[in-house]
Amino acid sequence: MNAYLIAFDGLLLLSGRIGDLISQRRVFLVGLGVFTGASLLCALSQSQGLLIGARFVQGVGGALTSAVILGMIVTMFPAPREQAKAIGVYTFVAVAGGSVGLLLGGVLTETINWHWIFFVNMPIGVATALLAIRLVPGREGLGLAAGADLPGAALLTGGLMLAAYTILGVAEEGRGSTQTLALAAVAIGLLGAFLARQARVANPLMPLRLFRSRNVSGANVVQALLVVGMFGMFSSARSTCSRSWATIHSMSASPTCR
């Protein structure tokens, strides 16, 4: 789970800029191919190392697809009423998928095995790619000549990945450990350098003027809180399940239970 989140968080903003430059549909299809291929590797993995590596690659694909979805919706549905409907459908599917996915994943794991929570992505990924090729217009991007702030992208990607790694490692290392504090300081420094660079470069990866809009700033705060709450719930559920399985295992191993 952590390998996926580190790649996804670190590459999301850069993926959106790449979509602006070379075509959102193209980036979406590439990301979908990466995600689907990595899902197959996850399903076939027989070692922890391969599974963790495949999950990291899956996070790269997830970032590429997620970063351009809303941009494609806005482009395909310019009329406010149709755009609101399309975003509503997208939100419904995203929320329903998060709920149904937890239940379906549990059913697949219990009835078959955990490999099938990744195998199930294969037909969905192929069907989505075919529909995207047929239904999503292939509009060209701004072109590579428009440029991307590569040093800024490196600062942002490194800072976000390191920040995610630091936060996810708090459970093992502790909040006040030397490693946690050192990595957090480096991550904050990288992100601070990124913001300082965005304020002065001609083609910023994230124009800071966007946040002068209360709607944009407010929406980002709400979205951040929503994601924190959602993944906090997932983490809590995972911890509860782990404790439950540990209790069941210890009871089944006791002479009385046997």
Q: What is the pLDDT of residue 182?
A: 92
Chain mean position to CA 82? 27
Q: How far is CA 30 from CA 19, 113, 116, 135, 155, in A?
A: 11, 29, 23, 16, 24
- The parent domain of residue 201 ranges over 149-212
Lowest mean pLDDT among 11-20, 43-52, 176-185: 11-20
Round to whole Å and give the CA distance between 7 and 24. Answer: 19
Report the number of distinct structural domains present in the chain: 3
Mean pLDDT within 107-128: 89
Tell me, yes or no, whether 242 and 258 share the same domain. Answer: yes
- pLDDT at residue 244 greater than cutoff 90: no
Of 247 and 92, more confident: 92
- pLDDT at residue 146 greater than cutoff 70: no
Most confident of the ranges 31-35, 108-112, 165-169, 240-244: 31-35
Mean pLDDT within 135-143: 77
Of 156 and 28, more confident: 28
Tell me, yes or no, whether 10 and 49 share the same domain. Answer: yes
Q: Which two tokens stand for residue 113?
A: 């095995």
Tell me, yes or no, whether 192 and 255 share the same domain. Answer: no
- pLDDT at residue 2 greater than cutoff 90: no
Look up the CATH number of the domain holding residue 3.
1.20.1250.20
On average, the pLDDT of the chain sits at 82
Tell me, yes or no, whether 239 and 180 share the same domain. Answer: no
- pTM higher than 0.85: no
Q: What is the pLDDT of residue 255?
A: 47
Q: How confident is the model over 50-59, as pLDDT tens digits?
A: 999 999 999 9
Tell me, yes or no, whether 225 and 123 share the same domain. Answer: no
* Residue that terminates a domain, selected from 129, 147, 165: 147
Tell me, yes or no, whether 66 and 141 share the same domain. Answer: yes
Tell me, yes or no, whether 4 and 128 share the same domain. Answer: yes
- pLDDT at residue 98 greater than cutoff 90: no
Q: Which residue has the tokens 């439950």?
A: 244
Tell me, yes or no, whether 60 and 167 share the same domain. Answer: no
Tell me, yes or no, whether 246 and 126 share the same domain. Answer: no
Tell me, yes or no, whether 20 and 111 share the same domain. Answer: yes
% of residues, the chain, pLDDT over 70: 86
Q: How far is CA 193 from CA 69, 91, 153, 197, in A?
A: 28, 33, 11, 6
Chain mean position to CA 249? 33
Confidence of residue 100 (pLDDT cuts 50, 70, 90): confident
Q: How confident is the model over 183-237, as pLDDT tens digits?
A: 999 999 999 998 898 888 877 777 888 888 888 888 888 878 877 777 666 666 5
| Helix and strand element counts for the chain (H, E) | 10, 0
Q: What is the pLDDT of residue 38?
A: 95
